[in-house]
A and B are shown apart, each in its own frame.
Chain A
């Protein structure tokens, strides 16, 4: 089977700004022309090495502002019924606020990170091993869950699967902390096969039932965890574990959860399932017939690297398949890619208040961090876009460009751009050069000829009537309010 051939630039398929831009937008969140030029100066392998440096770091401890102390038991015991309700409600409110701050904090990390590849990879894993804060309801637990992906996202897939099987957020989210020998709960076992590792059709209903038994007793240290809203950690409860014989995917024995993970990694469908998902996230929304061979090669690369994710992705990003022109404008930006990419592209660092607003606004675009629609994460591709989310995307870009909503735009006009973020300088000159400069910076899918001409005429009129800064701002928002800007 073919493996992924490295990209060797030629006269007809050169290495240059468009290629560096694709690398920066897919492996990271894109950036201004200077960042693209910096990568372009390096050559493909070096650019990948720099952008996707694999560093080892231990998961960080949760920051202080995240930790909500639940009311002490004694205090709850001593209080009357009404007071107890009030204290509980207060603690729940504080927890909700902390979760919101965590979402906002992560968004800000993505905007300002000097290692955007790590954040992009964490975003991939979050969508892959999805949990919803609505059910987990604990900011510290969610922080540890995120840190698993942010600090260890490039490690071996098998280690990640094992780690997520013991992760308190996941244990609560898919009810495995309640999975007991007497009546197994199948929730985790089923999604482990279907969504996390093998894909539908590659396991049987009996495999699900027996794996549920294998994961019995994989629970949490603290009982009543959900009720009190506290933090907890993984604990194996031998009395709740079914140690009897089981047959899973053809292997028999007194199998436990760890055995299930090892058996999964041996299935040929595991590498192809993961390869397809990586390809769709990082390369192209659709996998056509010709791409099937590339996906198979990516699966091969995974196996050859013992499922180590970092080295596999570096091979992918430095491959000729990755730079194939057919993958240009073949990926609909996720809402997070759109927002983070726009901020990075324009060099805007949002204030805490603005970042909080963006966290909320992402919901209207269909991608609220730490709250995917369900355990399947975000399906991506065309499912990002419907008539409502498309208009919301356009309007949010207006917010970013104007430093506020429509009212802010009007205020800005009255007050000579006060309150609006400074925009990068676009080539001065006539309408045509302004329109061309904005499109070159923002679009990989060009406008039609007539559209480009109409934009140039509009830009010319704006330059005359309103001056360079206002004209640039209007043109930027218009170019962002197009189908073309949704693509990378």
Chain B
């Protein structure tokens, strides 16, 4: 094992916090000094081509972490999963205790190259086992007993705009609107902030208003009818007007992009791969977007888990590997960090329908040019459980703090409200 990688055993000895703080603070300071210089306005803002980009991949439904990063050497695992356990001989070994699910060959290659960080047993105190509440907690980065209205990425956007709570109506430009872009059906709560920034789209070629009479007069009138109006300022009409403005200012740019920049890289034939191909196209096309959000669903495997999860993990792994190869070929790999998360993991013991019920801690993957790969976090005990569920070892907000400080040049306290230890997974 290479010496620059934190192993499970090293972590067992030192504890996450101490190891972590050492790793990224200098990066944060140097990067942020650079970023703050920009914002002081003495120089022209950095070109969009230099800005760090984050791609968030949501695994919706609650991904079973134990069958993703498999503790194949642990007898307790095989006892708890008489039909679902992955055999030791089948896993893609990460070390003498853990291995990736056999379908995840793409991610295994990234791991072997040293550009995949695997963070184990990520969760939060007093875990909630509702999909919807737990997803909210991850999206807002709140404590589990507190309700937050704004998302963690939305608060990061606010920091980027100098903390201005809300641009005056009518001054939203495409750079602001496009700061966050979700290739999802519903706008993620993670983007929510004061100014309803961020756009959502599924098919770029359809992302425009199709006039029944494409004349300049009609286009001008359409734009005027979709402008925020003085005095409305609140309520549903205000929300709709802001969204309409975002749609309007971003659609021309997206449409142009959809016409050009065809990605030449080969991607597998899956929805998530198609979405990541589109993300790569948009990055290559120079969109000012800082955070992309994509989603892969179907992880709620209460029954017949073997029919679903392996297929999804395989799709995820192949798509991430193709994305990585594409970015590398285009010389964009150093600008992009990709992170996966799921609202919770699943119960340690399988149920009677060859599935698993809602659980707690699960695994996160981080990959990309800026990532220093390795296996992080303490491997969770399968016998010392909380109501049959794993006890978490790494708070997910530590991972967010790591990405915010080490990659997005943003003071994590401003976004997360307090200090969290960071992990040594970002290259300096």
Contact = CB atoms under 8 A, between A and B. Distances in A.
Interface string B29-60: 00000000000000000000000000000001
A387 interface: yes
A185 B212 contact: no
Contact of A178 (B133, B222, B352): B352
B351 A395 contact: no
A114 interface: no
A151 B349 CA distance: 42
Contact of B236 (A375, A382, A387, A481): A382
B303 A175 contact: yes
Contact of A395 (B177, B210, B226): B210
Contacts of A187: 302-303, 357
B351 A329 contact: no
Interface stretch (B17-25, B213-221, B259-267): B213-221
Interface string B345-360: 0000111110101100
Interface in A468-488: 470, 473-474, 477-479, 481-484, 486-487
A416 interface: no
B162 interface: no
Interface in B189-207: 199-202, 206-207
Given A376-B132, A474-B218, A388 B210 contact: no
A455 interface: yes
Interface string B125-138: 00011111100000
A252 interface: no
A448 B229 contact: yes
Nearest to A332: B236
A375 B210 CA distance: 34
Chain B interface size band reads 35 or more
A487 B202 CA distance: 24
Nearest to A240: B352
A387 B240 contact: no
A383 interface: yes
Nearest to B251: A391
Interface in B338-380: 349-353, 355, 357-358
B197 to A, nearest CB: 10
A186 interface: yes
Interface stretch (A71-79, A89-97, A253-261, A400-408): A400-408
Contact of A374 (B131, B230, B235): B131
Contacts of A479: 225
A369 to B, nearest CB: 15
Nearest to B250: A387
Interface residues of A, number: 69
- Of the listed residues B60, B182, B229, the one surrounded by the most CB atoms of chain A closer than 10 A to its CB is B229
Interface in A200-234: 200, 205, 208
A201 B197 CA distance: 31
Contact of B237 (A180, A185, A386, A487): A487
Contacts of B240: 332, 385, 390, 483-484, 486-487
A422 interface: no
Nearest to A399: B210
B211 interface: yes
A461 interface: yes
Contact of A183 (B186, B211, B251, B352): B352
B271 interface: no
Contact of A406 (B131, B211, B350, B357): B211
Interface string B227-239: 1011110011101
Interface stretch (B241-249, B311-319, B327-335, B394-402): B241-249
A413 interface: yes
Contacts of A205: 129, 387
B97 interface: no
A409 interface: yes
Interface in A158-187: 174-175, 178-180, 182-187
Interface in B110-128: 128
Contact of A455 (B128, B221, B297): B221
Contacts of B231: 448
Contacts of B200: 386-389
Contact of A392 (B206, B230, B349, B351): B206
B211 A185 contact: no
Contacts of A430: none
A330 interface: yes
Contacts of A484: 237, 240
Interface string B171-189: 0000001000010011100
A191 to B, nearest CB: 9
A190 interface: yes
A331 B200 CA distance: 21
B224 interface: yes
A426 interface: no
Contacts of B250: 387
A388 B177 CA distance: 13
A364 interface: yes
A383 B207 contact: no
A193 to B, nearest CB: 10
Contacts of A366: 185-186
A34 interface: no
B95 to A, nearest CB: 31
B352 A184 contact: yes
A388 B302 CA distance: 32
A200 B236 contact: no
Contacts of A382: 236, 239
B208 interface: yes
Contact of A487 (B209, B236, B349): B236
A474 B221 CA distance: 11
A473 B244 CA distance: 22
A454 interface: yes
Contact of A175 (B61, B207, B350, B355): B355
Interface of B: 60-61, 128-133, 177, 182, 185-187, 199-202, 206-214, 217-218, 221-222, 224-227, 229-232, 235-237, 239-241, 243-244, 246-247, 250-251, 297, 300, 302-303, 349-353, 355, 357-358, 387
14 contacts: A178-B303, A179-B353, A183-B353, A186-B357, A330-B236, A383-B187, A388-B200, A390-B247, A391-B206, A447-B225, A454-B224, A458-B221, A474-B212, A487-B237
Interface of A: 174-175, 178-180, 182-187, 190, 194, 200, 205, 208, 285-286, 329-332, 364, 366, 373-376, 379, 382-383, 385-392, 394-395, 398, 401-402, 405-406, 409, 413, 445, 447-448, 450-451, 454-455, 458, 461, 470, 473-474, 477-479, 481-484, 486-487
